[in-house]
Structure 1
Amino acid sequence: MRISCVIAAAVAAFVGAQSETTGELGDALVVTNPRGVVYEAKLPEMPFFKQGSLNGNVRGSIVAMTAPDGYGVKFTVGFSNLPNEGGPFTYHLHVDSIPEDGNCTKALAHHDAFKRGETTPCDASRPETCQIGDLSGKHGSVTRDYEPTYIDRYLSIVQGPGSFFGNRSFVLHFANKTRISCANFKLVQRPAPYDNGTGASKTVRATNAPATVTPHSDAPLASAASVMSVSFYLLGAASILAFISAIGDV
């Protein structure tokens, strides 16, 4: 009897751990975007943080466009003229845009559509569990002049989904979270006519072309995967308990 209780408790705890999500609304979902949409954000000439070794401001920009396969966003990032101290530097998409006075604190918190929070650090091996706006957490922090290109499957450049960031900003931080500089995203290119496979030309506009949530081979819908996983564990748990009960009856 005691053994069966111990095993049952262990199975229940294991199943519970498997069913946990990293945000109140679950893990981030893969998003599809129409071709031809481009947003860009450039840091201003003067920094928000005016102390330390900065000579002028960090030179930095983020260009965001639809990924080649339509899943998520392709980012081209560039930072140079970094401070000599205070790194590694992080950068994130933030909730609000920057006002005309350039006050980076008014960008508020990280863009966190799935309500994950910042207490637990981002696990880059599981980007769907991170805050969707935590770009450096998912793709690497900045330690020196930095010019990466990467794809983030969980962000949208079309108005509508909570993962849209075209009306938001990004902020560059010291390692201690102090805000160095910030910039708003601006729409710099709308979709151009393209061949849709039928020989006819079609224009998709950024203002009315919906982004859709779609499963993808290398980044599936986390909620579906979690449900399937938990179902298997529940089935296994039931089998174990049935086996224990059968032994007890013998």
Structure 2
Amino acid sequence: MHSFGVLSTMALGLAFASAEGIKTGDLGNATAVTNNPVGASAAGNLPDKAFFTAGSLDGNVKGSVSVKSSPDGIGVVYTVKFSNLPKEGGPFPYHIHEKKVPDDGNCTSTGAHLDPTIRGETPVCDKSFPQTCQVGDLSGKYGAITSDPFEVTYTDIFGSMNNGANASVPDRSFVIHFSNKTRISCANFQVDASGPSGTVPVPTSSATPGSNSTPTSPTSSTSPVVTAGANVLQVVAFAQPACLALFGLFFAL
């Protein structure tokens, strides 16, 4: 009974989210990944040469994005580190993209953001409701790059370490952009061979083609770690007004 009540509350909250203009995907909202292989990890490091050079960029942005399974297998933990950023053109968004970087290093060949729910990029992600955002829109959910150096760690319950899954991360790439969506640099993830690897045979769905989303308002690089529990509580909290309205209607009858 308790589980049914929580699920019903979440469903009501998401229904009202749609009614109030929160963008959801054609296939619904992102859901928590609960079967990540514990101990799995991967990391991507930016190359020495930038894909797009600007006057204030000396060489290339330095940095990496590493991802690993959460200790309980629910979602993933990201550690993001960037430095040597351009002197202008920020804040700098970054995302997981649906395709790998080809051998020629062409960042435009990485496709759109990882978007298994087919949400699209407009309107921009509302980070108060991360389940309604694109799975790969990391800066939309957790903040764009606003300092140099920049370092942040957070948990995202919607990422998968299972290669081939709709929300898989290790078999894709990440891209860092100027605020005008121009792609500065990109890198593939390399799986840590010493750890377990995911084997869930789920085909990868194609995301809606399009340009990269406009970053949300800047947040500090010292943002607190975001936990899976916080994401769930956000949904339940959002559902409370809807439940109260329904209870009021019931007693009015």
1:156 and 2:178 are equivalent in the alignment: no
Q: Secondary structure at the match of 1:147?
A: strand
- For the 8 Å contact 1:59–1:79, the answer to whether it is kept is yes
Which stretch has the larger CA shift, 92-101 or 119-128? 119-128
Cα distance in 1 between the residues matched to 2:69 and 2:244: 36
Cα distance in 1 between the residues matched to 2:186 and 2:133: 21
Alignment of 1:138-177 (within 5 A): 138-144=141-147, 145-177=149-181
- For the 8 Å contact 2:161–2:198, the answer to whether it is kept is no
1:184, distance to aligned residue in structure 2 (A):
0.7
Between structure 1 and structure 2, the one with the greater Rg is 1
1:184 and 2:155 are equivalent in the alignment: no
Q: Which residue of 2 aligns with 1:89?
A: 92
1:73 and 2:76 are equivalent in the alignment: yes
89 and 78 in structure 1: CA distance in 2 versus 1, 3 angstrom threshold: same
Cα distance in 2 between the residues matched to 1:164 and 1:172: 19
1:86-144 CA-to-partner distances (Å, cap 9, x unmatched) read 00000000111111111111111111111111111111221111111011111111122
38 and 227 in structure 1: CA distance in 2 versus 1, 3 angstrom threshold: same
1:109 and 2:112 are equivalent in the alignment: yes
TM-score by length of 2: 0.73
Cα distance in 2 between the residues matched to 1:237 and 1:114: 33
Q: Which residue of 1 aligns with 2:219?
A: none
* Unpaired segments ≥5 residues, structure 2: 1-13, 203-227
1:51, distance to aligned residue in structure 2 (A):
2.4
TM-score by length of 1: 0.73
1:42-79 CA-to-partner distances (Å, cap 9, x unmatched) read 10000001222111100010111011232111111110
2:45 partner letter:
K
Q: Secondary structure at the match of 1:148?
A: strand
The CA RMSD measured in Å over matched residues stands at 3.1
Alignment of 1:195-214 (within 5 A): 205-208=196-199
Alignment of 1:19-38 (within 5 A): 20=19, 22-32=24-34, 33-38=36-41
- For the 8 Å contact 1:64–1:73, the answer to whether it is kept is yes
1:143 partner letter:
T
1:161, distance to aligned residue in structure 2 (A):
2.5
Q: Secondary structure at the match of 1:137?
A: helix
- Kindly tell me the number of residue pairs found equivalent between the two proteins: 211
Identity %: 47
1:218, distance to aligned residue in structure 2 (A):
3.9
- For the 8 Å contact 2:129–2:234, the answer to whether it is kept is no
1:225, distance to aligned residue in structure 2 (A):
10
Select the residue among 41, 50, 58 that pairs with 1:47. Answer: 50
Deviating above 3 A after TM superposition, structure 1's stretches of 4 or more consecutive aligned residues are: 15-21, 216-240
